[in-house]
Amino acid sequence: MSGQAALERLPGRSGWARPGPWLRIAALRASGIVGVLVVWAIVGQFGLVRPFLVPPLPAVVAQLGDDVVTGGFAISAASTLYRALAGFALACAIGIPVGILISRNRLVGWFVTPIVSVGFPTPTLAFLPIFMLWFGVFDLSKIVMTTFSTVFTVIAAADAGTRGVERHLVWSAESLGAKRTAVFFEVMLPAAMPQILTGLQVALPLALIVEVAAEMLMGGDGLGGRMLQAENYADSVGVYAGIIEIAVVGAIAVGGMARLRQRLLRWHVETAAR
């Protein structure tokens, strides 16, 4: 008896259809997060851990609600996002042209490559005190820090992307009559897009990581600054709420980037429907 036939023969509860496999899968997938929340609620309810270490779930939810209603979350989130995105955008504006130039110009390639290979894997956050020294402790230094930390990732991705363009694509365009600038904008750039976007998808979370760290060190009105303040006042409810708020901001940023990739790469093997 084949497996399929066996399934069809199984008796269901009288009158009820057996829950399909999709329901079981959905339940499993939700169980992780639900499980965490349940454990958290139980821990708070029965005081299994000191409330300072793990504040009760209702208190954190109340804080979150408060932040949303008073607009505190919106203001802080906007502040953090603004600086992180500004730094990220600047890194793209500088990094993509530089990365492309590296792959096309020998001299530029020779000069910039070692700088990128030092900047890329190293904790550029260590430069934070220098930027505080040069630019103060307000928006400018945070944005510069974010740009500096992400630009190397973008350069490397743009370089790899343009280098990896299949030469037969370029040759086809040339033999169809395209001139140099046309070949660059109409063929090389679109062909390099997937890899460049992958680099951007790595750089954006990095921008947020650095921005949050910078806020914790320099203060200010962003989510990071507020969270560190909460810690200083031993306000663990505030810290937990802050983590959830930053996670939401992170999810928005990452999700937005993924959606952008989907739109720009509708033609790609990964996204095109077969």
Partner 1 sequence: MIGTAIRYAPLLILAALWEAVTRLGIVPREMLPPLSTVFVAFVGMLRDGSLPANAAQSFLRGAAGLAAAIVVGFLLGAGMALRPRFHAVAGPLVQAFYPLPKTALVPLVMIWFGLGDMGKIVLIFLGCLLPVTLGTYNGIRGVDRVLVWSARSLGARPREILLEVMLPAALPQLLTGLRTATAFAFLLMVASELIIANNGLGYLIGSLGDNGAYPAMYAAIMTVIALGFFADRGFAALSAHLLRWRA
Partner 2 sequence: MSVPASSDGIAIEHLSFSYRSKMGAAVRALDDVSLTVPAGSFHALLGPSGCGKSTLLYCIGGFLGVNSGSIRTAKGIVAGPGPERGVVFQNFALFPWKTVRQNVLYGIGKRGTKGEEARARAQSFIDMVHLTGFEDSFPSQLSGGMQQRAALARTLAADPDILLMDEPFGALDAQTRRIMQEELLAIWRQTRKTVVFVTHDVAEAVYLADTISVMSARPGRIRQTIAAGFNRDPDPGVFKRPAFTELVEQIWQMVRAEVDQARGAVRA
Q: Where do contacts with partner 1 occur on this chain (CB under 8 A)?
A: 25, 28-33, 36, 52-53, 110-115, 117-118, 120-130, 132-134, 205, 208-213, 216-217, 223-224, 227-228, 230-231, 236, 239-240, 242-243, 246-247, 250-251, 253-255
Write down the least CB distance from residue 198 to partner 2, Å.
16
Q: How far is the CB of 184 from partner 1 (least distance, A)?
A: 25
DSSP label at 19? P
Question: Which span (60-68, 104-112, 180-188, 236-244) binds partner 2, by CB under 8 A?
Answer: 180-188
- Judged by CB under 8 A, which of 139, 174, 221, 231 binds partner 2? 174
- Note whether 171 binds partner 2 by CB under 8 A: yes
94 in Cβ contact with 144 (< 8 Å): no
Q: Among partner 2, partner 1, none, what binds residue 201 when CB lies within 5 to 8 Å by partner kind?
A: none
Nearer to partner 2, 66 or 166 (CB): 166
Q: According to the binding rule CB under 8 A, does residue 109 interact with partner 2?
A: no
Q: Which does 251 bind (CB under 5 to 8 A by kind): partner 2, partner 1, none?
A: partner 1
Task: Tell me the number of residues near partner 2 by CB under 8 A.
Answer: 25
* Helix segments in the chain, DSSP class H: 3-9, 21-45, 57-70, 72-104, 106-119, 128-135, 139-163, 167-175, 180-183, 189-218, 223-232, 236-264
Binding pattern to partner 2, positions 193-232, x when CB under 8 A? x---------------------------------------
Task: Give every CB contact of residue 12 below 8 A, 6+ residues apart in sequence.
Answer: 18
Q: Helix 72-104 vs helix 139-163: angle between axes, to the nearest 10 degrees?
A: 40
Interacting partner of 176 out of partner 1, partner 2, none (Cβ under 5 to 8 A depending on kind): partner 2
Structure tokens at 196: 């460049």
253 binds, among partner 1, partner 2, none (CB under 5 to 8 A by kind): partner 1
User: How many whole angstroms separate alpha carbon 230 and alpha carbon 23?
Assistant: 41
Cα(264)–Cα(197) distance, rounded to whole angstroms?
9
Residues sharing a CB contact under 8 Å with residue 111, sequence separation 6 or more, in sequence order: none
Neighbours of 157 (CB within 10 A): 23
d(CA 191, CA 218): 41
Sites of contact with partner 2 (CB under 8 A): 166, 168-169, 171-178, 182, 186-187, 190-191, 193, 265-269, 272-274
